[in-house]
């Protein structure tokens, strides 16, 4: 590795570490504050989508990481599974008011992906696109959260189609509509760009502890 590449990678890793303040509730908050306001606990995992659940065969699956990246990359399924694998434990919170504690995920940390593709300095936001046409937006700092993961497994089993398999994003500290199912494209952008629900009245960020559910919240 060249010296300039090494210094760039070091700076990037330091940036992700600095942004480690974006963590899920039970890591950074006392137990009494673990459940965001307006939420109730469930033991099951409710299914919500746009009315279709695309079935993607592994040999046809692709993840394109494009836009403002130094190393734009397209991954096939075998390529993706060859990336460093991580395990995460997190709570999830849906804007429809349910929360589920202690979900065990396996997959690729978003920070490992970011270290590979290297977003350009002007890239402050992420636009996510799914196989069903769904889109949603995130600040890059939220996408780079310590416990954010491109998940292929939940509770030790491959993600089911209904929950976004074969791979979905999980960003636990935001409402779960930001954690796009069936993810197929990640674009780094210099400015924020509303996704599907954001264009239809939902909040641009979606912090559960601030109850950022709708655009006027």
Phi, psi dihedrals of residue 67, rounded to the nearest 5°: 70, -140
Whether the predicted pLDDT of 160 surpasses 90: yes
Q: What is the pLDDT of residues 186-210, one digit of tens each?
A: 999 999 999 999 999 999 999 999 9
* Distance from C-alpha of 86 to C-alpha of 89, rounded to nearest angstrom: 10
pLDDT (tens digit per residue) in 18-73: 555 444 444 456 677 899 999 999 999 887 666 678 999 999 999 999 889 999 99
Give the containing element (helix H, strand E) for 183.
Answer: strand 183-189
pTM: 0.87
Region 80-89: what's the mean pLDDT? Answer: 97
Per-residue pLDDT, 124: 96
Q: Nearest-CA neighbor of 137 among 129, 127, 148?
A: 127
pLDDT number for residue 24: 41
| pLDDT tens readout for residues 100-141 | 999 999 999 999 999 999 999 999 999 999 999 999 999 999
The full length of the chain comes to 217
Which whole-number Å values give the CA distances from 176 to 62, 70, 148, in the listed order? 22, 29, 12
Bond preceding residue 166 cis, omega within 30 of 0: yes
Residue (of 96, 91, 63) closest to 77 by Cα position: 63
Q: Which helix (H) or strand (E) holds 105?
A: strand 98-109
Rounded to the nearest integer, the mean pLDDT of the chain is 89
Structure tokens at 178: 């930001």
């Amino acid at each position: 590795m060249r010296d300039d590449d090494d210094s760039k990678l070091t700076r990037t890793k330091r940036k992700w570490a600095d942004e480690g303040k974006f963590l899920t509730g039970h890591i950074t908050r006392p137990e009494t504050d673990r459940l965001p306001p307006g939420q109730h606990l469930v033991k099951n995992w409710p299914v919500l989508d746009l009315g279709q659940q695309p079935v993607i065969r592994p040999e046809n699956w692709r993840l394109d990481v494009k836009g403002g990246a130094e190393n734009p990359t397209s991954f096939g399924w075998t390529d993706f599974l060859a990336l460093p694998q991580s395990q995460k434990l997190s709570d999830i919170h849906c804007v429809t008011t349910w929360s589920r504690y202690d979900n065990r995920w396996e997959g690729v940390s978003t920070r490992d992906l970011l270290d590979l593709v290297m977003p350009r300095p002007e890239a402050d936001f992420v636009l996510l696109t799914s196989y069903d046409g769904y889109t949603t937006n995130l600040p890059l700092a939220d996408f780079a959260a310590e416990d954010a993961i491109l998940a292929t497994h939940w509770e030790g089993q491959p993600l089911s189609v209904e929950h976004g398999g074969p791979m979905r994003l999980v960003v636990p500290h935001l409402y779960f509509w930001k954690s796009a199912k069936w993810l197929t494209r990640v674009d780094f952008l210099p400015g924020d760009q509303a996704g599907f629900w954001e264009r239809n009245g939902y909040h641009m960020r979606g912090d559960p502890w601030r109850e950022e559910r709708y655009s006027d919240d």
